[in-house]
Structures are given as C-alpha cells and as structure tokens.
Amino acid sequence: AVTVDEELLAGLNPQQREAVLYRGPALLIVAGAGSGKTSVLTRRIAGLIASREAWPSQILAITFTNKAAAEMRGRIRELVGSDADGMWISTFHSACVRILRRQAEVMGLKQGFTIYDTADSRALLKRILKELDADTLGFSVAGVANRISKLKNELTDVDLFARQVNMDDPKESAFLELFRRYTQGLRRANALDFDDLIAETVYLFRAFPDVAALYQRRFRHVLVDEYQDTNAAQYALIRELVRPVAPEHVPLDTRMRVGADGGIPAATLTVVGDSDQSIYAFRGADMRNIVEFEQDFPQAKVVLLEQNYRSTQNILDAANAVIGNNFDRVAKNLFTTGGAGERIVGYTGYSAHDEAQFVADEIEALKKAGETYDDVAVFVRTNAQTRPLEEIFIRSAIPYRIPGGTKFYERAEIKDAMAYLIQIANPDDDLALRRVMNVPRRGIGPATEAALQAHAERTGQTLRDAMRDAASLGLGAKVTGAILDLAKLLDDVAATAATAAPADILNTLLQQTGYLAGLRASGDAQDEARAENLEELVAQTREFRRQTPEGNLVDFLTGVALFAAADEIDDEDGSVSIMTLHTAKGLEYDAVFLTGVEEELLPHRISSGEPGGIAEERRLFYVGITRARKRLYVSLSMTRSLFGEPSVAMPSRFLQEIPASLIDWKQSPGDAAGRNAMRPRAVTSREGGRPKFSYSTSFPSDRPKKEWTSAVTATVRDNGDLTLAVGDRIRHTDFGEGRVTDVTGTGSKSIAEVQFDTAGRKRLLIKIAPIEKL
C-alpha cells in the first residue's frame, strides 16, 4: 500500500480516492463531464511525487491544451511545492517537439526545423498543385491537405501509401505524386507540419529502439487527460512509451529497478476520458481508443466516477437526457448533491442580433446580481456566429474576448517579422525567405527571385546559399548589392542566434532591414498601426525571455507555432469569453450561453451527410451544456445569414431532447399555460429523419404590442409567392419605404436588395420579410 498524505486526498470521494491511490500497470478512469477526472489526474501526480514513488522528471502528463498543462503544473506545485519542476506536462504536440528537437539529427533533420502551420502547409501544397497542373484533375488545396493530414494521423506515410495505392487509377497516382512532392518539400525546407510532429516521433521510436529506450526509461508514469480524443498516431505514441525496456537497452550503471530478465518494466499508464465528449473525429480522434482500452491493456484497472461537482442537477438532467439519445454508449447518469438550481433559460430571437441582444441583456443582469464577466462564456458552433455578438457587446459596453479571434500572428507585418526569425533559425526554409526577400522593398523583383531559385535548384543549394552567389549570376550591380547585403545581414544575425535573446534578434532585424523605419516614415495611419504591432511582437519576445530565461529563438518560434486558441483564454481579465464549442472542452463557467441552437448550425450542416455525424454534434452540444456551473441559457434565432445567405432557421432537434420542464422560454411568458408560448413546437412529422418544427404564434397580451411586432410578423408572415422586381417600391414594418435594387435566388430563397429611403441598404428574404409591395 502507498502512503499518501491525507492532505492530498482531502475532499475526494471514495472512487476518486481509489483512482488517486491505485498502483498498477494501467488505470482507466472513465467518467462523465465534471466528475473530477482532471482533478484526480492532478492529485495522482502530486501523490506520486509526494510519496517519493517518482521523481518529477519521471512523469509525463499529456493535456489537451497548453493552458491546461500550465494549470495542472501550477496546481501540482501548490500541492507538493517547487518539486514539480522537471515534470513534462504538455500537449502531445509540445512533448513531441521537445523530443524531436533533441533527436533531430537521428531523423535527418536539423535542430532548428520549422513547424509549418496550416497556412504554411497550404502555401506549399498550392505551389505543388500548380507545378503539376493538378487542379485540372479536380484537386483542391484544402482537399489534398485534409487527405494528407488524415493519412498522417493514421501513420500512413508516403512510402506506405505508395504500396497501397491503386496505380491504375490516374487520380490516385496523381495524388501519390502530390503527397510525395509535399513530403519532399517539407524535407527540403527542414520543416514538419503539425501531423508530422506526432507521426515522426512514432517513426523515430520505432526505427531507433535505443532512442525509444531513453524515453521509456525516463518516463515511469505516463498520464493522459481527454483520452477520448486521441487519434491513431497519438495512440501509437503512447504504446511506444509504455513498453518494457529490453535488457540490451539498459545501461550498466542504471540505478533503476531491473526486472528478472535484466530489463526495466514498462511505465505505468493512466488515462482519463469520457467517450461522450469525443468531438474531434474530424482530426482523426478515435473513440475506440478509450472503448477498447481494457482489451489493449488486459491488466487494466477501471475506475468509474459518477458524482458531478460542477453543475446543478437541472443542468445535469438536461445533459443526461440529451446524450441519452446517442446509441452505442455506456449509460452514465451524472448527479450532484448540490441541488436542482435554476432552470435553463431559453430564448428565440427574431434575428441573430436580437438573439445577441438577449445574451447581452442577460449578462448585464447577471453582472448586477454579482457575477463577474470572467465567469460568463458564450459558445458558438462556428466562428461566423461571433459577428452579431460582438456588435451588440460593443454597443452594450460588455468587455469580451474571443480566444483565437485576434489573429495577431496572421497579420501581414507579423508574418513578415516571423519569416525573418524563421529564416534565421532555419536557413533551409525557402518559403520564409521568399516571403521577405523583397520586404521591405529592396529591388529584388520576381525575375531576380526566379534567377536565384533556378541557381539554387541547379546547384542543389538553398535559396539562402544561392543569395551568397549573387555576384556570379550576371544580375544588375544594384540588385546584386541588395542581395548580398541581405545575405550578410541574415548570416550575421544567425551567428548569434543560438544564445541571443529573441528580442535582440528581432530588434536587429527590424532596424537593419529598415522595415520599422519605413513604416514610421510613411505617414500612413495604417503603417503606424503596423509598426505598433511589431513593437507588440518585440514585447512578446521580451516577455517570453522573462518567463523562460534560457529560451532561445527556436524555443520562442516553437511556442508561437504551437500556440492554440484555447491557450488564449484568460480567466481573470474581466471579460466575457466568446468561443467555439470545440475550444470549450475541459473548461467551466458559472453561466454559459449556448447560442445558435438551430438545425444546420448545431447539428452543423456538414455533419448530416457523415456517418455518426449527428451523434458527434450531439456530443458537442453535451460538452457545451456541461460547462455550466450554475446557469445555462440556450438561444436561437428565427432567421440567420448562414453561408452567405439569409435564411429561415429551424430550432435544433437537440432542443427537443431537453425535457420541457427544465426550460423557461423567456421570449414569451404568458400564453394560456403561463409559459412557453414561443417554445418551438414539438415534432409534427418526420421527413427523411429530420424533425419538422413550427413556431407557436400566440403572444402575450399583457406586453406592449410593439415589443412583439417584429417577432410576430416574422413568424406568421408568409408572403407566399410575392415576387419583386428591380424598381419596385415596398414598405417594411421596421425600415419604412424603399426601392428594390436587386433580386437574386429563386423560389423561397429569393432575396431582394432594397435601398430604403432612410434605413439604408438591406438584403431581405422575400418570403418572410415583413414587407408589402406598394
């Protein structure tokens, strides 16, 4: 038996305790949302360290985001003191980068390899598609990128694919060629894409058992949170890490416990997850990993946690009811001893703005009641939904932030600066160099670039090498001078890069290239803003060095490359978070708004064609519901501009799955029954499996009429076959009179563009807009 300080176990229920204290080769903790999975994992690590069963350096814990990793580390430090340093707590990607940087040479990579983000990968693919004229075969960059990503997540590299592909199929053999060139392109640039980070680490371990043994010996305890969202490559990686170390890979002087055969037993593996929260199938996540854990690890101990510590019973009842509609799952029933709590509040808006106004009003009411903005989150299914929310929040002076929405690193000037830095760290990265070769303008035009490129290809050098040969290429004297100057600058800075502070490197580049001065001198307000952004980047590099005193340029670039939306969430900056449901995983808030709960959006339209698509969307809805501690709001809008077209939105089928008694529909209190007048009506028929809904149209008489006018006209209104033509004059109940300037679409989807006399230009769905022809 292990002795773990009672202090570390304080407040845990018996199952949680068992999960913290169990010692054995494999442990699976399966449990519904909010039952303390992440907390238990954290305490388990603290227990291992506090009881001296493991050194911090023998722990490898995998979290889903960098932010979750930082939180876990902080929590463990609180529990066991500063001992926690030396632990590896990180995402799969960060852990793999760390391993690959250290082992780069074994893999034929250089230590400063670039990590290509999605945009970089696509830029490379675009070039290749063009080279091969592949778009004429019907290939799209996104399509090829997705397929390659999927193959890599299944550990199918280009060689394996070549053995499987049907070469008689011209499209398949063309795809193979694209895949091959893409792989070569990355290699030549000394770059890896996101999917490579995992797959290459697996290949590294498989090809070099002695390297694998280094990590198998080091990590004695491997723990994985959110295990339901691991994909095949991540699964393989875990398997490689928890193998026993064969005697021939055990160094003679090891102080480790050696088994009877002279080897070292496998590390222990602890995984925690909830198959009801598996929401990353599109990235290759495979629920089977958790479902089949007991088959994979027959000695595994399984602990179930059922008590929920996060939400009220009403919220849990809704969550249980919704997820109960999924088949093929282990029935779980979340419960709390914390009481029923408030009922869920529902709202049906006339428009997305109306819905957003409801959200804003409720947030203000919560704030007045003592809630802080930090403890409120608004969830959306797609990024496009944030626009109306932002507009209304700005108007209502509600501070908000959208993690991943700032796109700081996508700004052109930031990308330029980053390209300089990347080129310093990785001279093989031609893509980065091409980006800044003529930025700021130094007279190196496309023709010169092509000449350099041709020289590089002829001589098998990088573009950077080719620049040093500029004098021999018969270019003009001036442009030759410019090229040599740039090459010298890059070489000089690169010479210091291994140790210099990233801020100094960046500053030198921005000054010496004249980039910053150029922006300053232009007198253009936009350029001034760009210069400020660059200063912000310099500030970030300084901050990085403050937090990681030893961190060099490569470390900084790695951090930027692996920075994800979820990492941007700040719990204490006094603002409401607006985020996608995917980003919300693992988080919790006092009050949660689930917006846009409509057919086509949640479930999303792309899901309906996919096998298991609806079930996955339902899990997403379930993840959303279970983020709420005290209050949950569900809202939708009767109309929404989706995919560029305004259209009538139908309530999501998932709303029907929440027991009616749990929701108060706020939009229309006061019908005959006293409630729920605006509750979307029950299913009236099923066509092709899709429930049909209708809106109730009885409105309370005790409310001022005007308040309801727009909603009522929107619901009962059906303009039938009203046709409009350019030049027609119409009257709109809200916008007054106007003239039709354009009509597009057909039938019930016809849209009129109307120039109103006073209300400006609007686009209206003719069938339902509250309009009449004059």
- Contact residues for ligand ATP, defined by CB under 6 A: 11-13, 16, 31, 33-39, 274, 277, 309-310, 586, 588
Residue 39 binds: one of ligand ATP, Mg ion, none (C-beta under 5 to 8 A by kind): ligand ATP
277 counts as catalytic: yes
Name the binder of 35 from ligand ATP, Mg ion, none, CB < 5-8 A by kind. Answer: ligand ATP
Classify the C-alpha dihedral 232-238-242-248 as positive or negative. Answer: positive
Catalytic residue among 65, 216, 268, 277: 277
For residue 729 the two structure tokens come to 């004059």
Any binding-site annotation on 37?
A: yes
Is residue 750 a contact residue for Mg ion (CB under 5 A)? no
Options 18-26, 31-39, 546-554, 691-699: segment touching Mg ion (CB under 5 A): 31-39
Stretch that binds Mg ion, among 32-40, 341-349, 563-571, 667-675 (CB under 5 A): 32-40
From the candidates 120, 193, 225, 600, give the one annotated as an active-site residue: 225
* Cβ 38 to Mg ion shortest distance, Å: 3
Nearest to 617 by CA among 288, 279, 318, 316: 279
Complex with ligand ATP: residue 273 or 646, whichever CB lies closer: 273
SS3 at position 627: coil
Distance CA 745, CA 742 (A): 10
Per-residue string for binding with Mg ion, 33-72, x by CB under 5 A?
----xx----------------------------------
Least distance to ligand ATP, CB of residue 297, Å:
21
Bridge partners for 408 per DSSP = none
Pull the structure tokens for residue 498. 């291994």
User: Smallest distance, Å, CB 30 to Mg ion?
Assistant: 12
Rule CB under 5 A: say whether 273 interacts with Mg ion: no
CB-facing half-sphere around the CA of 576: CA atoms within 13 A:
27
Sign, CA dihedral 503-508-509-510, equals positive
Stretch that binds Mg ion, among 84-92, 139-147, 298-306, 584-592 (CB under 5 A): 584-592
Check whether 384 is labelled as a binding-site residue.
Answer: no
Say whether 34 counts as a known binding-site residue. yes
Q: How far is the CB of 25 from Mg ion (least distance, A)?
A: 23
Is the Cβ of residue 588 or residue 753 nearer to ligand ATP in the bound state? 588
Number of neighbouring beta carbons within 10 Å of residue 380: 24
For the bound state, the minimum distance from the C-beta of residue 88 to Mg ion, rounded and expressed in Å, comes to 19
Asked whether residue 368 is marked as a ligand-binding residue, the answer is no
CA distances from 299 to 29, 269, 294, 552 (A): 14, 11, 8, 44
Q: Is the dihedral of CA 595, 599, 605, 607 positive or negative?
A: positive
357 touches Mg ion by CB under 5 A: no
Q: Binding to Mg ion by residue 559, rule CB under 5 A?
A: no
Which of Mg ion, ligand ATP, none has residue 321 at its interface (CB below 5 to 8 Å by kind)? none
Helix (H), strand (E), coil (C) string for 142-194: HHHHHHHHHHHHCCCCHHHHHHHCCCCCHHHHHHHHHHHHHHHHHHHCCEEEH
CA 77, 79, 85 angle in degrees (round to 5)? 25
Yes or no: say if 265 and 216 are a contact pair by the CB < 8 Å rule.
no
264 Cβ contact list (under 8 Å, min separation 6):
216, 217, 244, 245, 250, 254, 256, 257, 258
Reading the block at residue 62, the tokens are 């995998």
Of 320, 223, 274, 321, the residue nearest 31 (C-alpha): 274
Between the alpha carbon of residue 667 and those of residues 208, 634, 670, the distances in Å are 64, 12, 10
Q: Which of 32, 265, 273, 586 binds Mg ion (CB under 5 A)?
A: 586
- Minimum distance between the CB of residue 32 and ligand ATP, rounded to whole angstroms? 7
- Rounded Cα distance between 234 and 64, Å, is 12
Q: Which is nearer to ligand ATP, 99 or 323 (CB)?
A: 323
Establish whether 226 is a catalytic residue.
yes
Closest CA to 73 of 84, 57, 63: 84
Cβ proximity to Mg ion, 156 vs 308, nearer residue: 308
Q: Which residues contact 452 (CB under 8 A, 6 or more apart)?
A: 463, 466, 467, 470, 473, 483
Q: Is 613 annotated as a binding residue?
A: no
**Catalytic member of 16, 37, 332, 513:** 37
Would you count residue 656 as binding Mg ion (CB under 5 A)?
A: no
Catalytic residue among 627, 630, 640, 653: 627
Q: Is 67 annotated as a binding residue?
A: no
Question: Closest separation between CB of residue 720 and ligand ATP, Å?
Answer: 48
Cα separation of 147 and 58, whole Å? 37
Nearer to Mg ion, 626 or 667 (CB): 626
Amino acid at 363: I
Total residues at interface with Mg ion (CB under 5 A): 3
Decide the pairing of beta strands 344-349 and 663-665.
parallel
Say how far apart CA 65 and CA 753 lie, in whole Å.
45
DSSP run (H or E) holding 730: strand 729-732
Residue 370 among known ligand-binding residues: no
* Active-site residue, 243 included: no
Q: Which residue has the tokens 């209300």?
A: 759
Specify the stretch interacting with Mg ion by CB under 5 A; choose among 191-199, 236-244, 490-498, 578-586: 578-586
**630 known member of a binding site:** no
Number of residues in the chain:
774
ω into residue 669 within 30 of 0, thus cis?
A: no
Please report how close the Cβ of residue 251 comes to ligand ATP at its closest, in angstroms: 38
**Contact partner, 732, from Mg ion, ligand ATP, none, Cβ < 5-8 Å per class:** none
- Residue closer to ligand ATP by CB (options 301, 749) is 301
Q: Which is nearer to ligand ATP, 346 or 586 (CB)?
A: 586
- Considering the complex, state which of residue 332 and residue 442 has its C-beta at the smaller distance from ligand ATP: 332
Give 277 or 314: the residue with its C-beta nearer to ligand ATP: 277
Catalytic one among 15, 16, 38, 312?
38
CA separation for the pair 119, 258 (Å, rounded): 48
Bond from prior residue into 399 cis (ω within 30 degrees of 0)? no
Check 200, 226, 229, 362 and give the catalytic one.
226
Chain residue whose CB lies nearest Mg ion: 38
CB of 89 to ligand ATP, least distance (A): 15
Please state the closest distance from residue 344 (CB atom) to ligand ATP, in A.
18
From ligand ATP, Mg ion, none, which one binds at residue 16 (CB under 5 to 8 Å depending on kind)? ligand ATP
| Residue 191 vs 378, nearer CB to ligand ATP | 378
Phi, psi of 585, rounded to the nearest 5 degrees: -55, 135
Which residues have a catalytic role annotated? 37-38, 225-226, 277, 627
Binding site, by residue number, is: 31-38
Residues that bind Mg ion (CB under 5 A): 37-38, 586
Residues annotated in a binding site for ATP: 31-38
